[in-house]
Amino acid sequence: MKPSGSEDSRTSTVIRGIAVSPGVTVATVYRLETASPSDLSTEAPIDVPRELKRFSDACEAAAQELTDLIERVSTEIGAEESRIFQSHLFMLRDRAFVGKVNSAITERLHRAEQSLAEATAEYEKIFGSITDEYLRERIVDLRDVAARISNHLTEEAILDDIHPDKPVVIVARDILPSQTLHFGQLQIAALVTEQGSRTGHAAIIARSLGMPAVSGLVSIMEHVRNGDTIVVDGREGLVIINPEPEAKAAYHKIEREFYDLKDKLVENRDLEAVSKDGVSIELLANVNNESDAKAAAEVGAVGIGLFRTEYVFMTHPSIPSEEDQYQSYSRILSASPNQRLTIRTLDIGGDKTVPYFTAGREPNPFMGWRSIRVSFSHPDFFQNQLRAILRMNPGNEMKILLPMVTTVDEVIMAHQLIDESIDQLKQKGVAVEGNWKRGVMIEVPAAAICIDQIIKHVDFVSIGSNDLVQYLMAADRDNPRVASLCDPLSPAALRLTRHVIETCNRANIPVTLCGEMAGRPSSVVALLSFGLRSFSMSPAFVPLIKDLVRAVSLDQLTDLADELVAQTSTPQVYKILCSHLTRIAPHLARLDVNR
């Protein structure tokens, strides 16, 4: 895709959003398109035969996916569940629908993405006027089919339009987990999104990759074109589109300073994370795949505190078998620092979906049928994953982590399924080696409040601060209108987090925090004052937090916990923490996201 317009002919534009990942970069814009006609540029001429082939190839790839899904879902979950994909396959091969897309390409000279979006919108209008509720709801299935085709078009467009050695800033309305699967092939300098917050998915991706990011930039897609130069300041939540030469040069200088500081921090990889007064702090890493695990070892993490197994499912062309999962998990274990791995069972739902599990259009998917609830609904499927996990030869420390647990009854039910899985393996002659630790992720306020009851049934606890804060504040962290409420430094969030940490410490139950708080210096200061001694974060932040740990004396934080929870507003909390951080490690204060 060629740039339309040059920075010389376009006015410099400054837009302020939410700072979600620190750092500064100057690079070229790449718009990550979504299936919306209004977002797709029609200025550049298109190659009609090429666009027709792109659409045809995407349809064929989608059809093959659906065919594989029908077979695997029928075998492993049930014939009834596979019928939805059979209907999707019929829609995909509908001549009228395919014809509308091809006509838009040949007659209106629109790209395949826009033509698909236009045809989908036309059908939505038709379906929306139907009075029969069942038929009217079939538009949901059509959207799913269109999204499947669009994913293949997007994959090809990204790899075709961006040269692998060309740094780009991804600009998008939002970034979904499925869209990140091809990011490893690109040289991405920063992320900019219209939607999202400090704990939203785009923020998590950016921090995991150690790059600047700004979210909550309403209508940013209307202001940028592919090829524009853009400055992204992840400290201040600022973007500048086509900056003036003086500003561009100034930000290039700041960008170099940030890279120099990050390079210097990486040098501490072989040093121990011990405070000035001799307290050892455990620094672990959150990972999605084998490359993340290798990165964790390279930066000096002592183990993996959270392996998100859902990415094995999201990247697999169909349902991964027990053997597929076993091989994937074994590779992660081999790459893990010190052979230490905490493996979380499947956590799908919300913004992380796989096509063979769907509850229809839920009004609030983040609080609906997701995570451990899906696993309980399909115990055979769940035990397939458990057996794959339990087959691994444990390293120095292996843990099974259950996500989104709400009640003690759920913990007991999960333990029963784990025990049954062990028995199933023994019956097959497969020995389950080692003493597997079993723990829960505390991300539901009900579980946090009743933590004293839950810890009687587990070996360890992990605090998932991202979702815990979202549910506590009753605010969608990816909704710009309310995302400001989802701050882990709010007094309510701090009080609940402190309650969980102190309750676990009194009972001598190991507790780790694996949310994004763990990689933010100001938050870590607060958590240390609460008595937390184990943190799991994106690998990119391990050197930063290690430097902070080695600079702090925990004696300095004796009275800080009470002072923080006594505050009545988040800005007051932040002001106190900034003061402490500046005093402890002024050079790290520059790498903390400003409010």
Which residues are known to be catalytic? 201, 514
**What tokens does 186 get?**
């690109």
- The closest of 183, 184, 202, 182 to 194, measured between CA atoms, is 202
Q: How many degrees, rounded to 5, is the angle at CA 537 between CA 230 and CA 320?
A: 95
Nearest to 413 by CA among 486, 468, 345: 345
Report the alpha-carbon distance of residue 7 to residue 230 in Å, rounded.
10
Task: Tell me which long-range contacts 429-436 makes (C-beta under 8 A, separation of at least 24).
Answer: 430/391, 432/390, 432/391, 433/393, 433/394, 434/393, 434/394, 434/398, 435/394, 436/390, 436/394, 436/398, 436/399, 436/400
Give the strands of the sheet with 13-16, arranged side by side. 13-16, 238-241, 229-233, 24-32, 168-172, 188-193, 213-215, 18-21
Mutual angle of helices 570-584 and 542-551, in 10-degree steps = 70
Please give the Cα distance from 349 to 364 (Å, whole number): 10
Tokens describing residue 151? 């994913």
Beta carbons of 277 and 553 less than 8 angstroms apart: yes
Which helix (H) or strand (E) segment holds residue 191: the answer is: strand 188-193
Are 25 and 189 in contact by the 8 Å Cβ rule? The answer is: yes
> 304-308 and 24-32 as β-strands: parallel, antiparallel, unpaired?
unpaired
CA distances from 295 to 301, 302, 311, 329, 369 (A): 9, 12, 17, 16, 33
Closest CA to 257 of 590, 593, 592: 590
Calpha distance 471→465 (Å, rounded) = 10
Place of tokens 């396959």: 89
Q: Are 190 and 150 in contact (CB under 8 A)?
A: no
Give the whole-angstrom CA distance, residue 366 versus residue 378: 19
Residue 338 · residue 302 · CB < 8 Å: yes
Nearest to 295 by CA among 542, 89, 3: 542
**177: Cα within 13 Å, side-chain hemisphere:** 18
Alpha helices (H) along 93-191:
95-107, 112-128, 133-136, 138-161
Residue 282: enclosing H or E segment and its boundaries?
strand 282-287
Q: To which residue do tokens 């269109």 refer?
A: 146
